[in-house]
Structure 1
Amino acid sequence: MKAESASENIAKEDLLKDLLLLVHETFEGSPEDGSAYLDRGTGVFSTVSGLGSGEVSADLNGTSIVAHVEHLKFYLDRLVEFIEGRTEPVNWDQSWLIDTVDDQEWEVLKAGLRKSYENVLRCFAEVPVWDQDKIGEAMAIIAHSAYHLGAIRQMAKAVRPQDKGKRQD
């Protein structure tokens, strides 16, 4: 495939619009008119909002919903740091240290995840030049977050059997 010339580059505004749309949909759910995901209207926040600390702390094959939420928050924070210039390596094992919470800790973690998500939106909006590294990091945030959305949604079905057959499309 032939490389594009400079005049055929993607406009920053177009890239940003699509990145923000996918991040928004991953965390807040899709708009009414379509979805990048099979289950319309579902995102990380709506998936975890109705779950209690006991449900998210349940051990499901060696992990828990809260472990995925903490890892996702940690990941968002580190990738924003990389987009903003961080070069030091990350100890990713630190992102899996929490696997149970009480009610108060669960509320704090959900608020922290929302703050990390909002920080991603801010960071993306403030990127002056979208070079290959920054585009790759933004795409990694979307792909990684989508993976954890799927994992969390499947685990939520295990802790809430009444939700097993529900789909929204």
Structure 2
Amino acid sequence: MGYSIQDSIKPILKEAFEGPGAEDGSWFTNTQLDSGIFGTLKAMSADEASISIYGSTIASHADHIRYYLWVINTMIRGNEPDRNWESSWEITRVDETRWHQIQKDLYQEYMILNEKIDSPDLEDKVINILGAIAHSSYHLGALRQMIKTINVE
């Protein structure tokens, strides 16, 4: 029996952001349950997320992922977003309040994208969703390497 496109995309998107499920195994992340973007960020304090590593911070990567998802979600809705990629990298230092807000906003954009997978006209959106998965997975790898650099794992 074949899988629908929704059944194929959802676990990959979920793994990138939430990590693999206990019974699902892993397609590309560590097999630890919190090895997706949300679990990786949750383990970080605002001070740790503000450490500059090769010119960027974990906070700026997190907000850039959020911004990218916002752009994709805007395009999926049929609108043309005002793209300013440079502004998505402006965050350098965050306090705990701002750090939690970035994570909350990222989660919100993720949930919006996740809901779009169930839309009847999914085929028109697949390229955007696959791009979001690839882009977010790239940044997940960068985040995991940054964490190794600051030894907070």
Please give the TM-score of this superposition, normalised by the length of structure 2: 0.89
145-154 or 92-101: which moved more? 92-101
Q: Over residues 5-43 of structure 1, what are the superposed CA-to-partner deviations in whole Å (9 max), with x where a residue is unaligned? A: xxxxxx8x7111111111111110112342111411310
Matched, 1:155 2:146: yes
Q: CA deviation at 1:159?
A: 1.7
1:75 match: 68
How many residue pairs get matched?
149
- Deviation >2 Å, runs of 4+: 126-129
Unaligned runs of 5+ in 1: 1-10, 164-169
Partner-residue secondary structure (3-state), 1:125: coil
Please give the TM-score of this superposition, normalised by the length of structure 1: 0.81
> Which residue type is aligned with residue 130 of structure 2?
M
Q: CA deviation at 1:87?
A: 2.9
For 2:99 and 2:122, how far apart are their aligned partners in 1? 37
Partner-residue secondary structure (3-state), 1:137: helix
> Which residue type is aligned with residue 122 of structure 1?
E
For 2:120 and 2:68, how far apart are their aligned partners in 1? 19
Q: CA deviation at 1:129?
A: 4.3
Matched, 1:91 2:84: yes
| Aligned equivalent of 1:30, options 6, 12, 20 | 20
2:52 match: 59
Q: Which has the higher contact order (CA 8 A, sep 6+)?
A: 1
Q: Compared with structure 1, are the counterparts of its residues 127 and 77 closer, same or farther at alpha carbon in structure 2 (3 Å cutoff)? A: farther
Q: How does 1:110-121 map to 2 (within 5 A)?
A: 110-121=103-114
Unaligned runs of 5+ in 2: none
Q: Over residues 29-64 of structure 1, what are the superposed CA-to-partner deviations in whole Å (9 max), with x where a residue is unaligned? A: 112342111411310111111110110000001001
Matched, 1:17 2:10: no
Q: Which structure has the greater CA radius of gyration?
A: 1
For 2:120 and 2:61, how far apart are their aligned partners in 1? 27
For 2:87 and 2:119, how far apart are their aligned partners in 1? 28
For 1:138 and 1:16, how far apart are their aligned partners in 2? 11
Calculate the aligned-residue CA RMSD, in Å. 1.7
Matched, 1:105 2:94: no
Report sequence identity in percent. Answer: 30
> Which residue type is aligned with residue 18 of structure 2?
E
